[in-house]
Structure 1
């Protein structure tokens, strides 16, 4: 594995294509490295030192990669921010991350300026020199070309490995940064260690690989898998705005060899007309990794039928992980999310902290062999999700006799109706089989007799019109596949479910109105 690490590879061979943007622009490794080096020199002149943080509000464009490559060779914390947030929410993260610089793309100027105004109002503003605009001018910001102007393109001295600090969305309260201690070690050496994870999925260094980035950069998996691909010498093909057909076009155009996706993206690509799917050659794809949400079995099988045995699944979290299921594992154990990574342990405990028997659902806990974390500024939260050295993000699951893990649902999403635990993910997967259902969310709402009853909110595919009759038909489609106690009592329709581009569903936004005024609201 000797000789990995983007900075080393780019110096040895500056001509390989490091980045392909969706619009068509291509950038060599030498160009990306030169811009990253200039960024380090400019930020150090601004006063940034080891352990400082920088934040960015950026779409999937080359500057994102340049800023990443700068932060991780200069011992800084790299925090991309969700551009769907509001100004005050962005200001909170910039402040909480103790960021010494804030990069904002002109596309997000409105919310970036709102964040800056919020910080200044509270006396926490950054100096103008630390506000850097990308892609155009933003009032009060320094354009990135001007910020870098005159700075050397040569490598900085005293390099040390930085790391990403992503913010978890959380179920209550404000998001928390998942912070890991910096090693102080050589960036190329540390980056080489990081390439162990892709190896679990059969991804190997070099060889002209192309990693397709399908989700926004503020997601942990995008930074993890995309960053590691870059450190292995692969090209990053960046999708700016995801569409089902656009993804197929990018695979064909760039001859993408591996990617990271979520089940919602699978479902929407599968819903394309057959003539559209057959229009594109996806045979270059060797490894398509998915996670972030439960994948209904019929969707997984359909993807395996279409793309072949290249669909890998894993279970992990921003905090760490996790498990992996190869295509062969999943075919032999349908529905599993796999076994623990070689560098991780995974167990399930009951509410008393005892490990549960085989086949019994419990709260899933994980432990990484390396890289422990803390929630920045929240020791109480850091300790609250720990047990016997393991941590949890609140998922419920069980193990089979062969040691394969199966997830039921998030603990907070579990419905308790008449004392019975009901897992919405199972119901959602079955409802998605109905041809009218484009997307669906299932959750519990108040019921005087049963405590909770099951509600489904459905986003219809094109060509279907909401009606009571269609709602009844969708519920009836569960006959013979799910016990009646798991059937939704009613269906509501919506034009669009509140999902992030990575597939994460904001179920609480749907659920909260039904619980308004109830003391048992969750």
Structure 2
């Protein structure tokens, strides 16, 4: 089983996957894909994701993973902006695009029988590619467009040492080793999930890929395949914790050793509950599409410093830049700047000015704010874009959200600012709850935990909150709904 990849009830061995990837590289080359070219990937969790990523690296090309949950117009924007030589996608996803596929773009369908060439037939018609690439290929990833169009983070061509350093960082982050059995729980168009797939396969481990996440199925797969490693976003922890106690106790999870979580903040009480259930196996990481993962914290370290996302690994560096534009000392809040030195650099595709704007003194900001303690552990406050200025005072919604999540009837929440004629901005809180919440009781609950000026002026209760697959709440959608007056129909206070 070592080195296999398992998707549902299908298994492909390492030798077969490498052979298919080499044949796919030949097919791509015959279609005109060369060094520096882009190949768009509109793929669900399947073997094709791994094969395509291995193939583009042989050609020093770029894989462009596309979030297939996006609207066809958003996908069409990516296909025009990235100017790929080739689009590989699952047939049903391609069928929904229609005229959004640029004219002249060659399309290969996985599992289809329509007008496009079939992926498996296309691979079988070519001999394995003999080259292995020069380490120049990588990825071009479009991050979710929270303020307009998605932006593309494109890795620059890497030297051999930069590629080796990137591999060393991934090995540390995911604790990779030949005997590992890793479970992929999230969509492979996201680098968080893709990283553990690629790193585990490269190290000779076995990878079990969930086609879609189901909490009990996750437990079943851990027991069935003796899973040792994994990667989850915090929203999946919440879904797991909601399982009935008899279901939780039904499965043997004793093989778990190292489970990474990242992608969104994790409420402290959620993490403690998971640690009490799964044991000391949860390792939190922090970084971004631009920087890659930079910090990591072990269960033991986190219990001593709850709320921290860790210290830099290997050649990583984290510094805090204050409002005066200078680096601050420990304990002061400011913009987080970070980097893993010696790994491949990046640019924003078609926007070098934006790339220059996020760098200072050799480090990169992702828009987060936070502070460092005396030992160099990083604590995050919030996104700068989410910070609210109310009555001349800075308020970090993440702090208010953490207080709300301590309420036993609040299962999820989102806090953001909206314009106000008197204070400039005031806070709105969307609460997910299965119970009827009384506004005065929620306010009284908060008064015992945060300052009065941080208490939301408006509360909205709903059955669920919109989230990306990575677990991030779509606050823009909630803000637009509130400002349009739609929220009052769902119980605004």
How far apart are 1:244 and its partner, in Å? 2.0
CA 1:392–1:191 in structure 2 vs 1: closer, same or farther (change >3 Å)?
closer
> Partner of 1:441 in structure 2?
414
How far does residue 136 in structure 1 lie from its aligned partner after superposition?
2.1
2:478 aligned with 1:510, yes or no? yes
Q: Does the CA contact (< 8 Å) of 2:232 and 2:262 recur in 1?
A: yes
1:246 to 206, 217, 220: 217
Q: State whether structure 2 residue 427 is matched by structure 1 residue 459.
A: no
Deviations 1:174-227 (A, max 9, x none): 222211222375xxx9865443124434714202x1111111111121222221
Aligned residue for 1:5? none
Distance 1:86 1:202, change over 3 A: closer
The answer to whether 1:136 aligns with 2:112 is yes
CA shift, 1:369, in A, is 0.8
**Are residues 66 and 412 of structure 1, via their aligned partners in 2, closer, same or farther at CA, if it must alter by over 3 Å?**
same
Cα distance, 1:74 vs structure 2? 2.1
Contact 1:20 1:26 (8 Å CA) reproduced: yes
Q: Aligned equivalents of 1:251 and 1:514: distance in 2?
A: 41
CA contact (8 A) 1:87 1:114 kept: no
Residue of structure 1 equivalent to 2:401: 428
SS of the residue aligned with 2:97?
helix
Q: What RMSD over aligned residues (CA atoms) do the two structures have, in Å?
A: 2.2
Contact 1:292–1:504 under 8 Å retained in 2: yes
Task: Indicate yes or no: 2:5 matched with 1:19.
Answer: yes
Q: Does the C-alpha gap of structure 1 residues 115 and 148 become closer, same or farther in structure 2, counting only changes over 3 Å?
A: same
Q: Would you say 1:486 and 2:454 are equivalent positions?
A: yes
How many pairs were matched up? Answer: 482
Deviations 1:380-438 (A, max 9, x none): 11111111111111100011122211000101111222222221122222322334323
Alpha-carbon shift at residue 155 of structure 1 (Å): 4.3
CA, structure 1 residues 380+190, in 2 after alignment: closer, same or farther (shift >3 Å)? Answer: closer
Partner in structure 2 of residue 322 of structure 1: 294
User: Paired residue for 1:181?
Assistant: 156
Within a 5 Å distance, the mapping from 1:469-480 to structure 2 comes to: 469-480=437-448
Q: 1:250 to 1:109 in 2, by over 3 A?
A: same
Unaligned runs of 5+ in 2: 486-493
For 1:338, what is the secondary structure of its paired residue?
Answer: strand
Q: Closer, same or farther in 2 for the Cα pair 1:230/1:141, shift >3 Å?
A: same
**Structure 2 CA distance, aligned partners of 1:452 and 1:389?**
34
Q: 1:484: Cα distance to partner?
A: 2.8
Give the deviation of 1:360 after TM superposition.
1.4
- What do the CA deviations read for 1:461-486 (whole angstroms, capped 9, x no partner)? xxx35x4x445444443342223332
Alignment-derived partner of residue 169 in structure 1: 144
Q: Distance in 2 between matches of 1:37 and 1:327?
A: 40
Q: Secondary structure at the match of 1:72?
A: helix
Closer, same or farther: CA 486–272 of 1 in aligned 2, 3 Å: farther
**2:339 paired residue number:** 367
Retained in 2: the 8 A contact 1:446–1:514? no
Provide the secondary structure at the position in 2 that maps to 1:511. Answer: helix
More divergent stretch after superposition (31-40 vs 246-255): 246-255
How far is 1:229 from its partner?
1.3
- Counterparts in 2 of 1:65 and 1:204: CA distance versus 1, 3 Å: closer
1:254-308: CA deviation from partner (whole Å, max 9, x where unpaired) = 2211111111111221122211211122211111111122212111211111111
Q: Secondary structure, in 3 states, of the residue corresponding to 2:411?
A: strand
Asked whether the 8 Å contact 2:43–2:68 carries over to 1, the reply is yes
Matched, 1:102 2:70: no
Q: Is the 8 A contact 1:290 1:313 kept in 2?
A: yes
Moved over 6 A (4+): none
Distance 1:56 1:485 in 2: 47
The 1:475/1:230 distance shift into structure 2, 3 A limit, reads farther
SS of the residue 1:195 aligns to: helix
Alignment of 1:77-156 (within 5 A): 77-116=62-101, 119-120=102-103, 125-126=104-105, 130-138=106-114, 140-152=115-127, 154-156=128-130
Q: Secondary structure at the match of 1:237?
A: strand
Residues 25-424 of structure 1 mapped to structure 2, 5 A cutoff: 25-116=10-101, 119-120=102-103, 125-126=104-105, 130-138=106-114, 140-152=115-127, 154-157=128-131, 159-161=133-135, 162-183=137-158, 193-201=165-173, 203-207=175-179, 209-320=180-291, 321-370=293-342, 371-424=344-397
Preserved CA contact (<8 Å) 2:153 2:349: yes
Q: Secondary structure at the match of 1:445?
A: strand
Deviation readout 1:432-470 (Å, 9 max, x if unpaired): 23343232111112322222222111223xxx35x4x44
Please report how far the alpha carbon of residue 111 of structure 1 lies from its aligned counterpart in structure 2 after TM superposition.
3.3
d(CA) in 1 for partners of 2:159 and 2:425? 52
Give 5+ residue unaligned stretches, structure 1: 1-14, 518-522
Quote the offset at 1:231 in angstroms: 0.7
SS at 1:59's partner residue?
coil
**Deviation readout 1:89-130 (Å, 9 max, x if unpaired):** 1122122222111011123134333421xx23xxxx31xxx2
Looking at structure 1, the residues matched to 120 and 382 of structure 2 have their Cα atoms a distance apart, in angstroms, of 47
**What TM-score does the superposition give when structure 1 sets the normalisation length?**
0.87
State TM-score, norm by structure 2.
0.92
CA distance in 1, matches of 2:173, 2:458: 41
Residue aligning to 1:8: none
1:398–1:407 contact (8 Å) kept in structure 2 = yes
